[in-house]
Amino acid sequence: MTELATQRQAETAAKDPKPKAALNGARSFWLKQLHSWHWISAAVSLIGMILFAVTGITLNHAAAIPGDPVTVEQTATLPAPLLQRLASFPQETTDPVPDAVARWASEALKVEIAGKPTETTAQEVYVALAMPGGDGWVTIDRSTGETLHEKTTRGLIAYLNDLHKGRNAGVVWFWFIDVFAAACVIFAVTGLGLMFLHAKGRPSTWPLAALGLLIPVVIALIFIH
């Protein structure tokens, strides 16, 4: 009986480590995966997160941050051959100016209006040149060819604030915001997974996580009307 009991104990001891080993192996796999995705997403989104966090503060205090608008004007006269070509341009349209006129504006005024919609009347051609942190426009008098380019910038803070909002920043920046947001989601979700795996040894994990949810909910319910 003693020998049989010893044999059974040996068999039990040999079987017990297997589930634990499998569990530890799965945990190690997920830890490795989550750590990899967490640091990669952190590296990709790091500068963007700093930019959006800082501009979140500047936007929240926009009224208290003085602007410093600077306006620059340029004038030029459209050459007669191009003015004649513009004469055949429709009197009421939003079509871009002819390519030759756009090339002239690029050379004479250092401004790109090719392909941009216009607000054209019988008297003038107006092209809006919205940009982050400022505004601009070009007008061309259809009778004289007198051209005016005005550009207003409101400083670095206004520029960064507009990047935060994606205002007038173009298609490439539009897609960058989407990619950056996806990287932030991966960063947050993998962080949650790591919290879950380490929570047993850190009792304050879930109370702190719950507090992070509770604070904005309470503020929204009590102070936002």
Residue 38 three-state SS: helix
Together in a domain, 188 and 126: no
**Does residue 79 belong to any structural domain of this protein?**
yes
Q: Please give the pLDDT value at position 200.
A: 85
Name the DSSP letter for residue 96.
Answer: P
Query: 45 and 75, same structural domain?
Result: no
CB-based burial label for 162 (10 Å; 0-12, 13-18, 19+): buried
Closest CA to 63 of 152, 161, 151: 161
* Tokens encoding 224: 């936002």
Range of the domain at 192: 25-63+177-223
Classify residue 98: in a domain, yes or no: yes
Task: Tell me, yes or no, whether 49 lies in a domain.
Answer: yes
Q: Residue 80's pLDDT is what?
A: 93
Q: Amino acid identity of 204? A: S
Contacts of residue 100, Cβ cutoff 8 Å, sequence gap at least 6:
82, 85
The reply to whether 158 falls in a domain is no
Q: Are residues 86 and 127 in the same domain?
A: yes
| Number of domains, the chain | 2
What mean pLDDT, rounded, does the chain reach? 89
The predicted-structure confidence for 26-57, as pLDDT tens digits, reads as follows: 878 888 888 899 999 999 999 999 999 999 99
Q: Name the residue among 17, 184, 153, 182 with its Cα closest to residue 73.
A: 153
Residue 169 lies in a domain: no
Segment 162-178 mean pLDDT: 94
Give yes or no: residues 39 and 86 share one domain: no
Asked whether the predicted pLDDT for residue 173 surpasses 60, the reply is yes
Per-residue pLDDT at 201 exceeds 80: yes
